[in-house]
């Protein structure tokens, strides 16, 4: 089956940087798109960055110019480089992917999330 595993969260001071990584594991995978979501404490989970072969990268206005999403299609990974971090970037970051297995239909998958805390 498909599993998404994130890594790279932690504590960082305002203005600092972090890099999150997500790897999709499983055999026979065909990944349509990979994305990152942010869930601040007590708030909804929101899409902040997405990348696909068809449409390239796109960002929420809140992170545009500060975050960069990059994908390695050969390794089935997606990274999120987060620069100029702000306290409001605190929360749990989830990896999301639309994946087909062995030529079947595409389904949506979530990672377990990784915690990012931006605080001095």
Q: What is the mean pLDDT of residues 96-107?
A: 95
Listed residue (15, 4, 16, 26) closest to 113, CA to CA = 4
Listed residue (98, 90, 97) closest to 114, CA to CA = 90
- The SS3 assignment for 101 reads strand
Whole-number mean pLDDT of the chain?
Answer: 96
Where residue 14 falls among pLDDT bands split at 50, 70, 90? Answer: very high
- CA atoms of 29 and 19, how far apart (whole Å): 24
Residue 67 · residue 74 · CB < 8 Å: no
Q: pLDDT at position 1, please?
A: 87
Residue with tokens 């390695």: 72
Q: pLDDT at position 44, please?
A: 97
Task: Read off the pLDDT of residues 71-98 as tens digits, 9 standing for 90 and up.
Answer: 999 999 999 999 999 999 999 999 999 9
The encoded tokens of residue 64 equal: 């545009």
- CA atoms of 56 and 59, how far apart (whole Å): 10
User: H helices of the chain, where?
Assistant: none
Where residue 53 falls among pLDDT bands split at 50, 70, 90? Answer: confident
């Amino acid at each position: 089956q498909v599993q998404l595993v994130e890594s790279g969260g932690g504590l960082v001071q305002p203005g600092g940087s972090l890099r999150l990584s997500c790897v999709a594991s499983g055999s026979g995978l065909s990944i349509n798109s990979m994305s990152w979501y942010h869930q601040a404490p007590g708030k909804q989970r929101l899409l902040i960055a997405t990348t696909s072969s068809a449409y390239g990268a796109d960002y929420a206005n809140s992170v545009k110019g500060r975050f960069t999403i990059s994908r390695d299609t050969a390794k089935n990974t997606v990274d999120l480089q987060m620069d100029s971090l702000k306290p409001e970037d605190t929360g749990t970051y989830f990896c999301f992917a639309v994946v087909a297995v062995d030529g079947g239909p595409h389904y949506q998958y979530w990672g377990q999330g990784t915690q990012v805390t931006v605080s001095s």
